[in-house]
A = this chain, B = another copy of it.
Amino acid sequence: MRPTPSRILPLLTLLFLVTAPDASGQQATAPTPDEVLAASPDDAWRALDPERTVYLELSGGRRVVMELAPEFAPRHVENLRAMVRAGLFDGGWVMRSQDNYVVQWGPRDVADTSEIPEGIASELDAEFEVPSRGLPFTPAPDGDVYAPQAGFTLGFPAGRDPEAGLTWMLHCYGVVGVARSEDPNSGSGAVLYAVNGHAPRWLDRNLSMVGRIVSGMDRLSVLPRGTGPLGFYETEAERTSITSARLGSQLPPEERTALQVLRTDSPTFLAYMAARRSRTGPFWAHTAGRIDVCGVGIPTREGR
C-alpha cells in the first residue's frame, strides 16, 4: 500500500484538530470549546488588574505575565509585591528547570541581604490554605483524585474541603508557588516556581501559592533542564537572566500586555468546560465525557 500525497498530506495539517473549530460550519453537534469562546459575551471576560499582575522580562526580550492571587496567600502576595517594587528580581535568574515538574526563579543572590529594604519579610508563616467563606467556587464536573472538591475560584484552580471550610490552589500546569525549605514557615516569595509538566498534585497544601502564569509559560517551559539534583543548573552560564520584574501598575498602560481572562464564574466558562469534556466533531472516535480540573485550562484572549 503506497501512500499518495493526497492521502498523506492532511496528516501535517489536520493532525489533532482538537483546538480548532470544525471547518465544516455545521452545528449539528454540540459546540466545540473554540466555538463556545467565539460566541462569548464581553462580560464573560475580565481584564488583568495592573495591581495583580507581574511582568517578568527574561533576557532576550521574552515576557512572562503572572496573575497574582492575593485571596489564596495574602501575606505572601503582599510581600512579593513589595519585593517587585523594590527591584529585588531585577538581575535575578531562573536557577532551576526540572523536567515534568517545576521551573524556579528568584533574585541573583537570595542570600545577599544588603539590598533588602526594611518592611520586606525574609520568612512568612505558611499560607497553604485559606477559609472558603466568601470565596466563589465553580466545581469541575467530574470529581478529582486528590481533593474532596475541585474546581475554580477567582480564575485559579482550587480544591476545597467543605468539612474543614478550607480552600487551596491546585498544582496545575502554570500555577506559581513560593519555594521554601523544610520549615513550612520559611518561604517569602523571593523564590518562586511554576509547574511545567503533569500536575504534581501531591504538593497541594504544602506550599503557599501566589498566582498563575497567564502568558509566556511557553517560554519558561522550554528552558533546558538543569543537570544538578532537582534540576538546578550547575553553572551560572546555564541560567536565564531576569532583566526586570514590574507590577502592571508600575508600567505605563501601553507597555502592559493586553490580555483578558475568562471569568471562571461565568456561564461561558461552564459551557467551555462542558465542551472540553465532550469533544465532538469528525476527529473524535471516542468522547471522554469527562474532564479533570487541571485539564480544563483557563482561556485568555487579547484585549484590555
Contacts and interface: CB of A to CB of B under 8 A. Distances in A.
Interface of A: 1-5, 7-12, 14-20, 95-96, 99-100, 102, 104, 106, 110-111, 113, 116, 120-123, 126, 128, 142-146, 172-174, 179-182, 184, 186, 188, 190-191, 193, 197-206, 217-218, 221-225, 229-230, 232, 276-277, 279, 282-286, 288, 290-292, 294-295
A271 to B, nearest CB: 16
A4 B114 CA distance: 10
A193 B5 CA distance: 21
B205 A285 contact: yes
Contact of A11 (B19, B179, B205, B229): B179
B3 A111 contact: yes
A285 B225 CA distance: 28
A2 B199 contact: no
Contact of A172 (B122, B123, B198, B223): B198
13 contacts: A1-B120, A10-B181, A11-B179, A11-B181, A15-B193, A19-B230, A100-B174, A145-B290, A182-B283, A202-B279, A206-B286, A221-B225, A222-B223
Contact of A14 (B8, B9, B182, B197): B182
A7 B180 CA distance: 11
B99 A200 contact: no
A128 to B, nearest CB: 6
Given A102-B16, A285-B205, A198 B295 contact: yes
Given A20-B229, A182-B14, A232-B12, A113 B4 contact: yes
Counted per complex, copies of this chain come to 2
Contacts of A1: 120-123
Nearest to A117: B2
Q: For chain A, what secondary structure do more than half of its interface residues adopt (helix, strand, loop), or is it mixed?
A: loop
Nearest to A224: B222
A11 B201 contact: no
Nearest to A191: B11
B3 A179 contact: no
Given A16-B230, A145-B292, A197-B198, A7 B186 contact: yes
A202 B291 contact: yes
A277 B201 CA distance: 10
Given A2-B116, A145-B142, A202-B291, A11 B284 contact: no
A295 B173 CA distance: 13
Contacts of A143: 145
The 10 closest A-B pairs by CB, nearest first: A3-B122, A205-B286, A99-B218, A10-B181, A5-B111, A145-B292, A15-B179, A14-B181, A202-B288, A182-B282
A126 B284 CA distance: 12
B146 A145 contact: no
A143 B144 CA distance: 9
